Amino acid sequence: MTDTVESISSMIVEKLLANPKVPRDIDGNSKIVEDLAFDSLAVMNFVMEIEDELDVSVPLDKLADIRTINDLATCLAALKSGAH
Amino acid sequence: MTDIFAKYAGLKAAAAGLTAHSPRNPFGVVIDHPVSATIGVIEGRETLLFGTNNYLGLSQSKAAAEAAIETVRREGVGTTGSRIANGTFALHRALETRLAEIFRRRHCMIFSTGYQANLGAISALAGKDDVLLLDADSHASIYDASRLGYAQVIRFRHNDPADLDRRLARLKDHQGAKLVVVEGIYSMTGNVAPMREFAEVKKKHGAYLLADEAHSFGVLGEHGRGVAERDGCEDDVDFVVGTFSKSLGTVGGYCVSNLDGLELIRLCSRPYMFTASLPPEIIAATLAALDEMQARPELRKQLQANAGQLNRGLHKLGLKTSAHVSPVVAVTLETVDQALAFWNRLLELGVYVNLSLPPATPDQHPLLRCSVMAVHTPEEIDRALQVFGQVKAEILG
Ligand SMILES: Cc1ncc(COP(=O)(O)O)c(C=O)c1O
């Protein structure tokens, strides 16, 4: 199975929408901290769920550069392809 | 000119919101002075202290005080220098030798605080091409260490050896060294690490294991060496970091290991090299506290009994506490307002505990962190429980 940035991005959006506190109108361009009101701990904890799903680990320094859901999806896709 | 504090507008609003709903600043409590290990004067009232890290009560040790006084008269109040320059006295060496003996390890480095011990050991051990694997609920000093060094940092689920196993498996082709960091007892929740299982996982993958026994040294294990001793897996823990500021009642930190490479860390660890060493009287007091800890194993027994009494008591009151019985007991509440009201009322009724608010708490809930000492009497613990019961009825109904 190949995970594209698009498929990962929509998987992330879907997971986020499972949380009732997350605004309903998010998409790949939504900013994780500003638009979702996640603090740094919440971001790290959320990323853990995605890591399980994709069987990758995101190093914490990579998280520092991530602003949008698409940024996260791009990072995950790169890690995923590097791993195989 | 850009306001240098502008970025703290959110913090300012949060702090103002807290004090608006609280008769006192929960992060500005002043203990006028301690009366004993278990009682301090706060706001003019004698208050039972159930929120310290003074597990054995040794901050008030007479023997440690005498040792400090005698040493300060003989050697003065400070060293004015780094361990690698003029800041190593015979006493520093003596304390390193003593700790190495206690842990039955070949090498020991002492640092000026436990915070610096983590910062200095971890940042130097895990270098640019290495991977650092941290428990998600790690202490700030461990996270800060990961930012001071250049290793890749991966976080695994709290107290979850299976998650660590998966993450190490993903790194199987990675050429660098892997260092896993866990704590013995977690400072906020009292959770105890499954050390033996972590040790098995690290062996399976050829990683190194560092255990921060800050809250478990002097507390767990037959000789007080912490969770690794209790679980019989000390040989598989490559590095132990700890502090003098909890069960030993003074200040300072250390790292012990059987690996000879630890001596090289003295020459490259910035938090070791670029700060003044501990004052001689602190070293003398710490040595005396170690004597007392070793001479009085009954303190650890009493501490366990007291931990049981406090845990069971809080649980019986219907409060939400961790399943681990350890000297740290966290009561989890639903809302910050509840926690703030609960904490203030406890203090007014003469019981001090620590208030811990998200995001500094693991699961987004506020905590009342209670800790018990070996020298609390059963009556003092009963009194605290009685106050908890009263406040619970008032605040939670
Ligand atoms: C787990 C842990 N490690 C290290 C430290 C730092 O210890 P110290 O107070 O000696 O700086 C603490 C205490 O704050 C701690 O809880």
pLDDT in tens, chain B (397 residues): 999 999 999 899 988 988 888 999 999 999 999 999 999 999 999 999 999 999 999 999 999 999 999 999 999 999 999 999 999 999 999 999 999 999 999 999 999 999 999 999 999 999 999 999 999 999 999 999 999 999 999 999 999 999 999 999 999 999 999 999 999 999 999 999 999 999 999 999 999 999 999 999 999 999 999 999 999 999 999 999 999 999 999 999 999 999 999 999 999 999 999 999 999 999 999 999 999 999 999 999 999 999 999 999 999 999 999 888 899 999 999 999 999 999 999 999 999 999 999 878 877 899 999 999 999 999 999 999 999 999 999 999 8
Domain count within chain B:
2
- Based on the fold, state whether residues B301 and B312 are members of the same structural domain: yes
- Based on the fold, state whether residues B36 and B136 are members of the same structural domain: no
* Interface size, chain A vs chain B, as Cβ–Cβ contacts under 8 Å: 32
Parse chain A into domains and list their residue ranges.
Answer: 5-80
Would you call B152 an interface residue with chain A, using a CB distance cutoff of 8 Å?
yes
How far apart are the C-alpha atoms of B190 and B318, rounded to whole Å? 18
Place of tokens 């008030």: B60
* CB B156, CB B135: distance < 8 Å: yes
The residue out of B257, B280, B295 marking a domain boundary is B295
Q: Which CATH architecture has domain A5-80?
A: Orthogonal Bundle (1.10)
Range of the domain at B16: 9-49+297-395
- Based on the fold, state whether residues B141 and B219 are members of the same structural domain: yes
Ligand 1, closest atom to CA B253?
Answer: 10
How far apart are the C-alpha atoms of B318 and B339, rounded to whole Å? 15
The residue out of B295, B324, B340 marking a domain boundary is B295
Question: DSSP 3-state assignment of A1?
Answer: coil
Mutate to test the interface with B, among A60, A65, A79, A80 (most CBs of B within 10 A): A60
- Based on the fold, state whether residues B138 and B109 are members of the same structural domain: yes
Site to substitute for ligand 1 among B139, B216, B219, most atoms within 8 A of C-beta: B139
Cβ neighbours of B272 (radius 10 Å): 25
| Chain A residues within an 8 Å CB radius of B180 | none
Residue B185 domain-assigned?
yes
Residue B3 domain-assigned?
no
The residue out of B263, B295, B327 marking a domain boundary is B295
- Based on the fold, state whether residues B352 and B285 are members of the same structural domain: no
- Based on the fold, state whether residues B98 and B45 are members of the same structural domain: no
* CATH code (residue B358): 3.90.1150.10
Q: Which of B136, B155, B170 minimises the CB distance to A56?
A: B170
* CATH code (residue B270): 3.40.640.10
Site to substitute for ligand 1 among B54, B137, B141, B215, most atoms within 8 A of C-beta: B141
Q: Which residue owns the Cα nearest ligand 1 atom 8?
A: B114
Beta bridge partners of B135: B156
Would you call A49 an interface residue with chain B, using a CB distance cutoff of 8 Å?
no
Residue of A nearest to B133 (CA): A59
- Based on the fold, state whether residues B329 and B346 are members of the same structural domain: yes
Contact call for A48 and B152, based on CB within 8 A: no
- Based on the fold, state whether residues B102 and B124 are members of the same structural domain: yes
Q: Which residue owns the Cα nearest ligand 1 atom 10?
A: B114
Residue B2 domain-assigned?
no
Q: Sort strands B328-332 and B367-371 into parallel, antiparallel or unpaired.
A: antiparallel
